[in-house]
Structure 1
């Protein structure tokens, strides 16, 4: 009898130990051939598609996202058909301004920093990272790091990528310090459009 109790307690202790030692982040490479990128997500992302109206037309927007504790890792792709280059710069500007204006209107801060990203073929190109501190009316704080990248396909079509992490519960003094951790940097440095 005591031997079976010992086995049961040992098995229970082993299970607890394995659960405690299992990593919170389960990094996996996600390839999205239709959206033309490869990304490293900290878990299996969910994928949503929708059509977004813009002026007198609609564009396809795809979102792949995963929530780990208080963090939401996401890649949003908007595809513009060939011949829409005039809409490209206006649409990127609107996406940026909507988010940046929201941060400023909440009383938060925005820090912009030069950065680089690599394409699938290892070309290194400049971009900008935006670190946002979003304040809530109930003294809550959310932090966000976001990057926008646009890429032209050989056929003249364009993809606008918004790579972001939103941290929903923060006690950190600022977004730049908070998102300097390796787990967040991995997500940004391992996103590669074609």
Structure 2
């Protein structure tokens, strides 16, 4: 009788372990954002926030979709410039980049980066660059980020500025470029598709 109970307990533990091992931590889902002209693959259901950012005396619409999974925040921000605001594009992009680079104590020239590419919805491949940032430590928590900026001109001669990023916070520092090359992060960047 006790042999049967032990066998049952072992079988239950094995079944529980297998079910736990098979259940994915990340629940990948395709998110379509027709108003922002992109499709993205998120590892969970993102929250969406719309706001207007003041720039050069004007209000520029920006949308942020983000999801937090354990120590990571996966996010896509989309900033829309209309035809009369498209002249702001170079300076606005430089400001977005500079804000993050300053927080990581780097600049565009010495930030760790790698050349990559993205695909549009129509499957056109376009060269881009990913940046791997390690922010100064604040106590026991270490913060790093992989970020990519994509700009797209619209048929109406406006523009979109997309910032695709994953922010990782954890007690131990891991080399950002190596860490963010894992499949869970690569999928997020590889499957972002603007129109």
Match of 2:89 in 1: 88
How far does residue 15 in structure 1 lie from its aligned partner after superposition?
7.0
Moved over 6 A (4+): 12-16
Report Cα offsets for 1:35-68 as digits up to 9, x if no partner.
Answer: 0000000001000011110011011110000000
1:47 aligns with 2:48: yes
In angstroms, what is the RMSD of aligned CA positions?
A: 2.3
Report Cα offsets for 1:110-167 as digits up to 9, x if no partner.
Answer: 3022111110001111111000011223253111000000101101121100000000
Helix, strand or coil for the counterpart of 1:75?
strand
Q: Residues 19, 173 of structure 1: CA spacing in aligned structure 2 closer, same or farther, 3 A cutoff?
A: closer
Q: Distance in 1 between matches of 2:179 and 2:70?
A: 15
Runs (5+) with no aligned partner, structure 2: 1-8
Match of 1:168 in 2: 169
Q: Distance in 1 between matches of 2:98 and 2:69?
A: 27
| TM-score (structure 1 length as normaliser) | 0.87
Match of 1:64 in 2: 65
Q: Contact 1:46/1:64 (CA < 8 Å) preserved in 2? A: yes
Helix, strand or coil for the counterpart of 2:76?
strand
Stretch deviating more after TM superposition (127-136 or 29-38): 127-136
Q: Distance in 2 between matches of 1:17 and 1:183?
A: 21
Match of 1:141 in 2: 142
Q: Residues 170, 164 of structure 1: CA spacing in aligned structure 2 closer, same or farther, 3 A cutoff?
A: farther
Helix, strand or coil for the counterpart of 2:178?
helix
Stretch deviating more after TM superposition (15-24 or 55-64): 15-24
Runs (5+) with no aligned partner, structure 1: 1-8
Report Cα offsets for 1:84-129 as digits up to 9, x if no partner.
Answer: 2220110000000010011017xxx830221111100011111110
1:117 aligns with 2:105: no
Match of 1:5 in 2: none
Q: Distance in 1 between matches of 2:22 and 2:63?
A: 34
Match of 2:6 in 1: none
How far does residue 172 in structure 1 lie from its aligned partner after superposition?
4.2
Match of 1:6 in 2: none
